[in-house]
């Protein structure tokens, strides 16, 4: 069996049959719908001084304070030009909500196991770290994002950036 062989749905780590498609730069992503609470348009946010670059700020969404993470910053892309973007509000297993700021949000699709492949070694390292595999689409590859791992690694990176300041 090749490294990128088709895998039955039960073996796909995301444990979800529906995905919300999103785009950051030229890369399309698939977020398991079970983690997505809603998609919102940009709203005023409060800056968080001394926070990691990836933290865009805090928003108040109907009384819930949500940390916005700019996915472009997390993966090292230049800042977006223009003000058009979307925020996918995701809920982690621990129950905390985060806003993942994307360049665009597409549609909800069914996970077709016939198009599923394990994460290829040729995929950018940042996506390899948070991917549960890829779906081959007609005109692009969709990276299946492990939302928990993405947020955990982003927060861990923020904490690592804080350590030198704590030692001084």
Report the alpha-carbon angle 80-134-153, nearest 5.
60
Give the predicted TM-score (pTM) of the model.
Answer: 0.80
14: confidence class by pLDDT, cuts 50, 70, 90: very low
* Segments making up each domain of the chain, as ranges: 15-167
156: confidence class by pLDDT, cuts 50, 70, 90: confident
- Tell whether the model's pLDDT for residue 1 goes beyond 70: no
Pick the CATH number of 15-167 from 1.20.1050.90, 2.40.50.180, 2.40.10.10, 2.30.29.30: 2.40.50.180
For the chain, what percent of residues have pLDDT higher than 70? 83
At 71-97, the pLDDT tens digits run 998 888 888 877 778 888 888 767 888
Q: Round to whole Å and give the CA distance between 134 and 6.
A: 11
Backbone phi and psi for residue 17, each to the nearest 5 degrees, phi listed first: -95, -10
- Tell whether the model's pLDDT for residue 147 goes beyond 80: yes
How long a stretch of residues is the chain? 168
Q: Round to whole Å and give the CA distance between 145 and 111.
A: 13
């Amino acid at each position: 069996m090749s490294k990128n062989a088709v895998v039955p749905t039960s073996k796909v780590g995301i444990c979800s049959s529906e995905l919300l498609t999103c785009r950051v730069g030229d890369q399309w992503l698939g977020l398991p719908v079970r983690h997505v609470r809603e998609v919102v348009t940009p709203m005023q946010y409060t800056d968080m001084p001394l926070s990691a670059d990836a933290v865009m700020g805090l928003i108040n969404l109907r009384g819930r304070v949500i940390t916005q993470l700019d996915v472009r910053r997390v993966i090292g892309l230049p800042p977006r030009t223009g003000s058009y973007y979307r925020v996918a509000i995701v809920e982690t297993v621990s129950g905390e909500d985060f806003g993942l700021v994307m360049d665009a949000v597409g549609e909800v699709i069914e996970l077709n196991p016939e198009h599923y492949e394990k994460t290829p070694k040729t995929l950018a390292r940042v996506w390899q770290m948070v991917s549960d595999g890829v779906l081959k689409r007609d005109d692009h590859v969709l990276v299946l994002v492990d939302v928990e791992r993405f947020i955990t690694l982003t927060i861990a990176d923020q904490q690592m950036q804080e350590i030198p300041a704590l030692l001084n």
